[in-house]
Amino acid sequence: MKEVRIDAIEKNGQVFWQVRLGQRGLTFREELAARAFAAQLHLRMGWLRNQLAEPPKGAW
């Protein structure tokens, strides 16, 4: 799976923060909002990886 990345980008003299996962991304005006979203996304992607790696509960 892809990594969660945060990139600072500049448009029209303003700094924006882009959270990326592969080709998809969301852009935020505030760095704190971008970091909070990236942290949550990172945790959820880790959970998903674990769910896909473990056999279902109750399986032989």
pLDDT tens-digit series, residues 5-54: 999 999 999 999 999 999 999 999 999 999 999 999 999 999 998 988 87
How confident is the model at residue 59, as a pLDDT? 61
How confident is the model over 53-60, as a mean pLDDT?
72
Could you count the other beta carbons within 10 Å of the beta carbon of residue 38? 20
- The pTM (predicted TM-score) of the whole model is 0.81
State the Cα–Cα distance between residues 47 and 37, nearest whole angstrom. Answer: 15
**SS3 call for 59:** coil
How confident is the model at residue 54, as a pLDDT? 78
Predicted confidence (pLDDT) at residue 60 exceeds the cutoff of 70: no
